[in-house]
Amino acid sequence: MHLAVFTIVAALTAEALAAGTVVRRQNTTGVDPLYTYPYIDVDEWRDTPLRHRYVHGGFNGTELRFSFYFPPAEQYRKRFIQPLPAVSGNEKLVFEPAALGAIISDIAPFSFESGAYIVESNQGRQDMYPGDDATITGFRGSAAAARFSRELAAKMYGPHRPYGYVFGGSGGGYKTLACIENGTEWDGAVPFIIGSPVSIPSVFTVQAHAMRVLASKFDSIVDALEPGGSGDMYAGLDIEQRQALAEVTKFGFPPEAWFRHKKIASGYTGVFSGLLDNVISADPAYFDDFWKKPGYLGADPPASLVKARVQRNITIKRIVYSKEALAMGLPVSLPGKFAGGLNEVPAAFRLDGLPAGGELMGSTLTVARGEAKGTVLYLVATVGDLALVGFGAANFRTLSKIKAEDGLILDNANYLASQTYHRHINPGPEYPVWNQYQAAGKPIYPQRKSAFDGKTSMSGTGTLQSGKFSGKVIVIEAMMDEAAYPWQADWYQSQVKKHLGARIDDQFRLWMVERCMHTSPAVGDTERPAEDTRIVTYAPVIQQALRDLIQWVEKGVAPPPSSAYRVEDGQIVVGSAQERRGVQPVVTLTVNGKARADVKVGQAVEFAGTVEVPPGAGRVVATEFDFDGAGLFPSSPKFESTGAGTHATVKTSYAFTAPGTYFPALRGFSARGNVSSPFGRAHNLGRVRVVVS
């Protein structure tokens, strides 16, 4: 590879510099002193999967690396889009599948269609951890990449200042807010599925407690909430189980999301494994107090907690590394996937002596001897005799030293203790989900001085969300978000209101998206009913938000208004399409006029559905049915629309050929502007139950 210099024309320059040469910058005013000397080590035109000019490089003396993707000049419209993944460490994700919902998988064709080049970076780190200075991954690395990209764009396309738009979700949502609140490189932002300063660790701890207590009851909870169910998710629960379900629901967990409880258990235990080290180091005394002091659950443990306790020595039969584990289709933890992309990172252990039953998830696995003695990992899932593991920043550097003969000590005391940590902190009245832990204005449980009280940054950005920014922002929130509970987007809107007051609509929107979770429906899902008959993806809404943001910033065209909703006991409640506003259509479905039908094999049933688009959000463009739960949506009967296409009705019939319980779904799509584009097609779905005998 060689270093190439940009010229003012779009053609690839023939002039080359010796490898390692630094690009000379004509103007360093306002440049972060850490990122003064950029270099380019790849500069070439590529024809696949789309024609673009690819530029890769970094900044001397730092870990920051970047990739820029410039479309041909005839496609360019003087702007860039910058996606921010949830974790740092990889600047080559644009043409990879979606990572943690933080990059929509078709960002390249969408950006080029939108006249934008793409800025991507590893956010200043070559691993997934923020390091000693979290502002680097929070916004400084991304800002340096954006600033330098403008210099290269001006040389490629001619002198100009490209407009800049940044977006990201989950951890990338934190970073998107850190960028727009602390940097001047961007004109607008689309943060989605965002957390708050009190998310970590509380959303994980309250969820983990509920999963432990309710482990045997999720099937009945899910069935009660399904169409045609009883509606009483507390039926059949004992007192402890009722209390756990009420607690997590009042804390903001959307009950409809429990259908995914198995994936939530392994997935978010994996995420929490990367964070629990921080809790232990910040408040080590808690993990002793929990088991000894009055007022803590472990000091007078219920039978379920006693039964869950596990501690024993176990033997490693074989270490399975990340690449092999992924190739095996195992549910590799977030740290296992992203810890520098190194093959030598252990993702799983084949163990001898792994106890059957018990509460193993979240257990610490401490290396008992050898070079890696004392290294701590967390058990996030079991598959047969395989234990999938995660780990935090304090331990991942020594993982490569683990040997099979070293042995492990399995102990779940800290994980069990962590599950009620949120009860012992009080971040204040602006977080009303904590009101449930008050009685007559006083705390029910002993309170601790904690770094997790919302007054210290725990988001991996080195910043606290302030709601202060000079550009324009459209926040997207998934109403079934099982990780970034939806009320947190409302909390952020309240911070923006403090800053902008009556001018909030000039710079800010919040769009709620129904039937959406933290991650999109699984591709090729073998579950029945398949996930995409239960939930939809937020990707089209993000695409529309970016399109609207461009028009808002560059031409002053205001996007559709923010969603209207209310927060009741931690839950987001919305009304009809006309009432809720935003951009997503509202879909309803009935079977034989009701939510449930009981029929015989071969007996036809009648389906009737409606699709309604909020004001200013476009028109209905498609409807499709899935009857058997496979998620293929093979039937697209013609719909009839009224009101300039904003309201549609659709009817069809179907006869089931085998007995069983089915959950047919109707999916309705809307679009605005170029309705022939594959992007920006917001959708929703309606569901019913059919019992066939």
Q: How confident is the model at residue 9 (pLDDT cuts 50, 70, 90)?
A: very low
Which spans in 405-450 are helix H? 413-418
> Interior CA angle at 665 toward 659 and 671, to 5°?
160
Task: Say yes or no to pLDDT of 26 above 50.
Answer: yes
Mean pLDDT of 532-554: 97
What residues are paired with 516 via a beta bridge? Answer: 536
Decide which of 633 and 347 is more confident: 633
Tokens of 354: 């792994």
Q: What is the 3-state secondary structure (H, E, C) of 304-348?
A: HHHHHCCEEEEEEEEEEEHHHHHHCCCCCCHHHHHCCCCCCCEEE
Nearest CA to 466 out of 104, 177, 85, 77 is that of 177
Sheet with 665-671, side-by-side order of all strands: 619-626, 665-671, 682-687
- Give CA–CA dist 491/431, Å, rounded: 8
Q: What are the helix (H) ranges across 360-507?
A: 413-418, 487-500, 504-507
Q: The domain 580-692 is classified under which CATH number: 2.40.160.20, 3.40.630.30, 3.40.50.970, 2.60.40.650?
A: 2.60.40.650
- pLDDT over threshold 90, residue 353: no
Residue type for position 336: G
For residue 1, what pLDDT is reported? 33
The string of pLDDT tens digits covering residues 286-308 is 999 999 999 999 999 999 999 99
Q: What is the mean pLDDT of the chain?
A: 90
Minimal CA–CA distance to 32: which of 213, 208, 185?
A: 185
Q: What is the pLDDT of residue 3?
A: 38
- pLDDT of 521 higher than 50: yes
CA Rg value for the chain: 26
Q: Please list, in sequence order, all residues whose beta carbon lies within 8 angstroms of the beta carbon of residue 444, skipping any fewer than 6 positions away.
A: 423, 437, 438
Q: Vertex 615, ends 610 and 618: CA angle to 5°?
A: 75
Which residue has better confidence, 560 or 527? Answer: 560
Which residue blocks in 455-594 are alpha helix, DSSP H?
Answer: 487-500, 504-507, 539-555, 577-580
For residue 585, is the peptide bond before it cis, meaning its omega torsion is within 30 degrees of 0?
no
The ranges assigned to domains in the chain are 3-141, 202-418, 580-692
Q: 216-225, 325-334, 437-446 — which is least confidently predicted?
A: 325-334
Task: For residue 423, give both structure tokens.
Answer: 């009860």
Q: Name which residue leads in pLDDT, 355 or 311.
A: 311
Burial class (CB in 10 A: 0-12, 13-18, 19+), 201: buried
Return the bridge partners of 604, or none.
655
Q: What's the pLDDT band for 340 if we cut at 50, 70, 90?
A: very low
Residue 571: the pLDDT is 98
Q: What is the pTM of this model?
A: 0.93
SS3 663: coil
* pLDDT tens column, 97-145: 555 444 677 899 999 999 999 999 999 998 888 888 999 999 999 999 9
- Alpha-carbon separation of residue 7 from 14, 153, 316 (angstroms): 10, 10, 57
pLDDT tens per residue across span 73-103? 999 999 999 999 988 888 998 987 555 444 6
Between 29 and 35, the higher pLDDT residue? 35
Is the pLDDT confidence value at 453 over 90?
Answer: no
User: Is 418 within 8 Å of 201 (Cβ atoms)?
Assistant: yes
Contacts of 194 (CB under 8 A, 6+ apart): 169, 170, 173, 174, 177, 475, 477, 484, 488, 489, 492
635 DSSP 8-state letter? B
Contact 471, 189 (CB under 8 A): yes
> Please, which residues have CB within 8 angstroms of residue 435's CB and are 6 or more apart in sequence?
none
Other beta carbons within 10 Å of 640: 10
The Cα–Cα gap between 541 and 217 comes to: 34
